[in-house]
Amino acid sequence: AAMIFPFSSNHYMKFYWGTDEILLPVYQSMEEAFQKHPEVSVVVNFASFRSVYNSVMEMLEKHSQQIKTIAIIAEGVPESQTRKFNKVAMEKGVGIIGPATVGGIKPGCFRIGNTGGMLDNIVMCKLYRPGSVAYVSRSGGLSNELNNMISRNSDGVYEGVAIGGDRYPGSRFLDHLLRYNDNPSVHMLVLLGEVGGVDEYQICDALKSGRISKPLVAWCIGTCASKFSFEVQFGHAGALAKADMETSAAKNKALKEAGALVPENFIEFGNLIKSTYDDLVASGTLVPAPEVEAPKI
């Protein structure tokens, strides 16, 4: 609908919408942008880690009745600030994706942030129409790999979210998996966790209790950390095991024991997605999404 850029006066900028050129208004103030676009309910915040806290808090304190989802792209947001705006967002009923995320995508609908890459990749991964598989990951780069893997081994992605690699993401794996499980258009779930944190154990509890009832293919990356004689900090701020239960090996074991479909290694991840999808089709549980003509690039 519009952009907010506080460092220049109001103007218009040219963008591509598919293959068409469009003009988007750019506003200097957040107040004016929200007043002139009351239909807007999603904000993608590209502010740096230095200023993102103030802009998020302004949205939450002044516009939470209008805004329902905020995606925070910045990495390196101070953890104390992240916990503060996460708390306020929860109190006001606003969903947070991130920090340190590329966003999310709902094929055939829209995307938040840069998920899916450029148009040629969107077409290759069939992200122009919904499939039957929904995923959640921490990593943005690996969420794009999931788009690729799922499109090659099933009828494609229905929805996918990268919750972000920081220690305190605004939403959890379980939040999204429960949404997917309750959506009749989603027939299969995919989780790509990683070393560090304990969020995956919430999913184990949901599987054991039956709250998650649809097939879940899961894997936690970072199993190579056990090969080192010292603690390994991977690329994400949250990708560090501070206890044995935070290791990828321990979480993969727990997920498998809880009833998730867990491969022997990441190389087999795509094959397990394919075999699970094929079983659902063969049983009649899942009817493959119809193919539509790919949009021209």
Which residues are catalytic, by number? 236
Residues 6+ apart with CB under 8 A from 25: 2, 3, 10, 11, 12, 36
Q: What DSSP state is assigned to residue 152?
A: H
Return the axis-axis angle of helices 140-153 and 269-283, rounded to nearest 10°: 40
Q: Distance between CA atoms of 86 and 64, rounded to whole angstroms? A: 13
Pairing of strands 157-162, 103-106: antiparallel
98 and 161 in contact (C-beta within 8 Å)? no
Residues 6+ apart with CB under 8 A from 129: 107, 108, 156, 289, 291, 292
Residues 6+ apart with CB under 8 A from 272: 217, 261, 263
